[in-house]
Structure 1
Amino acid sequence: MQNSAHMSEVVPKRRALLVGIKYEKDIIGDNAVNERYGPSPTLKGPHKDVDDMSKLLTDLYGYEEEQIVVMKDDGVSPNLQPTRTNMIRELSALVHDARPGDRFFFHYAGHTMQQLNESGSEEDGMDECLMPCDDSPTASKIITDNDLHRYLVSPLPVGSHLVAVFDSCHSATLLDLEHIRCNRVYVPWISKGRRKSDTIYDYIVRRNAMVVKRAIYQADRVSHHEVRSRKTSLERMYNTPRSTKHLSILEKSEITSDRADWIGSADTINIPRCDSPAPMFSCTGFCSRPTGSDPNVAEVISLSACEDGQFCWEDDDGSSMTKVLIEILNQDPHPKLNHLMTFISHRLHKAAVRMHFMAREHTRLVRKWEVKHNKSLYRRRTIETHMRNDFQDPQLGSRSPLDMNSLWKV
């Protein structure tokens, strides 16, 4: 009885870890992250973002200062510089000894990159990675999405709660959470809704129950006497090497079978039979809505500034998604999730339209200067053209489908 009474008196923990990295050259050195991002990798807003987020947590959500750890590459506290070693230590400490009822908050403002995924665990074939301040091309110190899931998500017991905010590029699946499409909201400029819809950057990879051995060429008749082959992909193929790309028929002697589901007969060509390709990943955008929290997993939510294939931008004064989020939460600390995502999407879209307008005007002035001075600023024009063509769509990830009418809680 005494042990039970003692357990009932345990107060749930609340902890927050805020990381802001500007990648200033005098802190990280000329040969660090700036080599990955070109001559101007320095960001203006991350330090202010984490300071403002810390103030929001204390003023609005009742966090104590000792419950919040702030990491900035300002050179003030070596132990809290956002190097890879220090970040992993603090990530582990954030959820250390987590119990049901505990609440955790993680905020990251800085650079994010993508690298090729070789295990087949990513739908777009890429791993998303945080860029600590000591990362460099010659000595990679990145923290992958797999690392983040292992340090932040896996240790959480059922009944605990984690909210992660990523104000960075390529950030939608930084926690490798199972659901994202089904949490999308409708916005007027692109109807995302509850369906499987992604940007042109997102390569949708489907898998069935076979193993790719070789490409197959499928005949496509373009006239009575001519055929043109189209290269298709199957997950199990015949083993015979093929020397030509133009085929009018597949000889049955060239196809071998070692599975019962390869159906053929004496008068027909052996044809591989399988079900229609099914998504390798569970969230198709039509996941059933929950009636409450999933009793089998901890409640984890990630709010990201953009999709995996997109970039995010900051204004001339360093303002980005973090500023928008803080302004919205100051007006309503506990908005419905669908309202929160709608407000953020509209504000970021409005900012992007303004940025694109300014980029077009800048390009017009650059071209006028080029004509006058008979010189070409090709690189600057390329950057501005890229900025004009890119928008960012904030994403909400979770371990189980979210009730979008539920309230935002930190």
Structure 2
Amino acid sequence: MIDSILDRLTRLHPKVIDLSLDRVLRLLDALGSPQEKLPPVIHVAGTNGKGSTVATLRALFEAAEMRAHVYTSPHLVRFAERIRVAGSLPTDPELLALLEEVEAANAGRPITFFEITTAAAFLAFAKTPAEVCILETGLGGRLDATNVVERPALTVITPIAMDHESFLGGRIEAIAAEKAGIMKRGIACVVAKQGRKAAKVLEARSSELGVPLIREGEHFFARTASDGGLVYRGPSVEWSLPAPALAGAFQYRNTALALACIERLSRTEPVPTFPDFPPSALGPGIRSVTWPARLQHLTNGPLVDMLPEGWELWLDGGHNPHAAEALAQHTRSWRDKPLMAVFGILSTKDVDGYLEPLAARFHTLRAVAIPGEAAALPAEDGAAAATRHFCLDAKPSPSVEAAVADLIAAGTGPARILICGSLYLAGTVLSDNS
């Protein structure tokens, strides 16, 4: 039943992506404007690190025993992952009732899948009490369906890089302008450190709207402590905390963004309705963060069962050059074992830009076409691209399972296998190995 209604919703508009606010506002009006009945909203945009920042915020609030609504996309295995209501994913009957209500209110009019499911999330959130609501943009910001909340408590912009150029523009300035569209007059925006061009766009927009920018590297900082923990310093606090639960040095920066949000919201003057946040919850919160397919160590499932003793299997869903650079930086700490890869990506992505910083780090690579994706890059093209970027043993493979088996056969001892290139590939892997 869930699959059939989701299939109907995907056919309500001929385009998968058609950025606009008119259709979703019309539907929300028919539903009684649930976006106006939400608890304090934290609205997050950016290119990389959005999901990890949102996951960290959720873990921090839940450690403080505060109920958090969370809207993210895309899902990896089940659609319900997108809509977390006061800390819980909806059951199938709850999700079915929700989707049927928004489908009826839409009355068959054209609307994109993301727009109608965003409306469903707002409806679910408006019906259930919570202390905070965290919204992740789907694409861009200015015309993203989540950008209908007129007065969020706070906005957040993670690192901006080239991605989705066909929808957001082919220049970093155009992409930054779309992300800056979530800023609201007079409401503070927590901003990750950006490149010069993106930073200039964000500064101009903030000046136009009177938005206080809380900048990484100027107003808040994070560094690695001698014991591997995280030291956060903001305008009014300094916290010594455990290392982030999520793997990768870049997670220190994502964690700092979340902590800067907590610090800002803990002030009474900008958000008088926001509950006090107990600092004692920070450590347990950081230790409890989970976010699948972000440098995730897979420890069970059929693929793991294939591994000889001493081998490891990791999964990462980053899919643009900026994400690949961060991944390449982290792999420099993996010196104890050879690094191998199963690589799959969409043909619409910057394949060469993704592989340039990363491919040469792989001892061996097997390329696969992502199952069920019309835009999947053919395995032969993936292997050729990896060879262009100096991976010395890159070949196509018919499936992830066959690729892992081939890598094991090619190895001479314990190795680390990284499955990477796409969230869609990660979703297919997690559906059977999580």
- Which TM class, normalised by the smaller chain length? under 0.3
TM-score (norm 2): 0.27
The structure in which a higher percent of residues are helix is: 2
TM-score (norm 1): 0.28
Structure with more contact order per residue of length (Cα contacts < 8 Å, sep ≥ 6):
1
Say which one has the larger Rg.
1
